[in-house]
Amino acid sequence: MIKFTVFPSLSENRSFARFPELADRTEVLLNFIDIKQVQRRSEEPLSDPQYTGELKFLTVGRASEEKGYDIAVQITAELKKRGLRFKWFIIGDGRDLNKLRTMAKEYQVEQEIIFLGMRENPAPYVKSCDLYLQPSRHEGYPITIVEARSLQKVIIASDIPSMREQIRDGENGYLCPLDVMQFADKIQKVLADQEGRDAVRKKLREEPIDFSAGYAQIEAFAKKVKEKQQEKNARTGDKIFPVPAFL
């Protein structure tokens, strides 16, 4: 069988550039979702006694090292020290969840950063948050950012390659180095700039999220796999393996 390496983001594919001999065996197939379904599900009633507060930050993702939630705890402590009144909610389960809850207690911010665990439908939470925060150390192509964009939420995300594929700093969201003090500064700066937040939301409303090209890309990839397999079979005399339908 012909083997390909598939990447979920352009940035991850670039990291493979040091192997030029494999260039024709790699493909970027971005993660994509049904935007209209996200928007429909965001309208579902939200009744969660834990999800309260006048100023709500939100992050969605599994509780693991790459998501940077340990840094989120430290950012929370810094913002609390500065006198900001807020709650930062994190939706998601994972191997580090209990460790992170313990860390929040050690930093005395367990009332400010709240690890909700899993929620069947995060979309209403995203819709009702004031800021969507993503302090990740690294990501593929973060679907949670797509979802937040589709709901016109003001996003502050770590300045890493995969985030730059979606967020243009100061235009349709904000990027920030993954540093406790700089991230805390960015949050306060964005909160103080109502005009800037309004401009970001306006840009998000005007900026379509269109995955039609993604479907066409998958079809083209399936065709490419089939052609490569047929070429190999012609050389080796192997029997033809069926290419699975992607759509």
pLDDT at 64 over 90: yes
* pLDDT at 61 > cutoff 70: yes
- Is residue 164 within 8 Å of residue 175, measured between CB atoms? yes
Q: Give pLDDT, residue 233.
A: 67
Phi-psi region of 61 (alpha: psi -120 to 50; beta: other; left: phi over 0): left
Which pLDDT belongs to residue 28? 55
What is the pLDDT at residue 228? Answer: 59
> What is the crossing angle of helices 180-192 and 69-81, to 10°?
60
Using CA atoms, how far apart are residues 115 and 158, in angstroms rounded to an integer? 20
Q: Which amino acid, residue 155? A: I
Q: What is the pLDDT of residue 39?
A: 95
Average per-residue pLDDT in the chain?
A: 85
Burial of 43 (0-12, 13-18, 19+ CB in 10 A): exposed
For 81-127, the pLDDT digits (tens) are 999 999 999 999 999 999 999 999 999 999 999 999 999 999 999 99
pLDDT higher than threshold 70 for residue 223: no
Per-residue pLDDT tens digits for 67-84: 999 999 999 999 999 999
Among 10-19, 28-37, 165-174, the least confident range: 10-19
Other CB atoms within a 10 A radius of the CB of residue 77 amount to 20
Indicate the pairing of strand 131-134 with strand 113-117.
unpaired
Name the pLDDT band for 239 (thresholds 50, 70, 90): low
Measure CA 30 to chain center.
12
Length of the chain: 247
Q: What is the reported pLDDT for 12? A: 46
DSSP letters along 113-173, please? EEEEE--S--HHHHHH-SEEEE--S--SS-HHHHHHHHTT--EEEE--HHHHTT--BTTTB
Q: pLDDT tens for residues 28-55?
A: 555 567 899 999 999 999 999 999 999 9
Query: pLDDT at residue 133 above 80?
Result: yes
**Hey, what are 206's tokens?**
């005007």
**Which residue(s) pair with 169 in the sheet?**
173
How high is the pLDDT of residue 11? 47
Q: What percent of the chain has pLDDT over 90?
A: 69
Q: What tokens were used for 87?
A: 């709650």
Q: How far apart, in whole angstroms, are the C-alpha atoms of residue 160 and residue 177?
A: 8
d(CA 152, CA 242): 42
φ/ψ of residue 195, rounded to 5 = -60, -40
Tell me, yes or no, if the pTM score tops 0.75. yes
Q: What is the pLDDT of residue 105?
A: 98
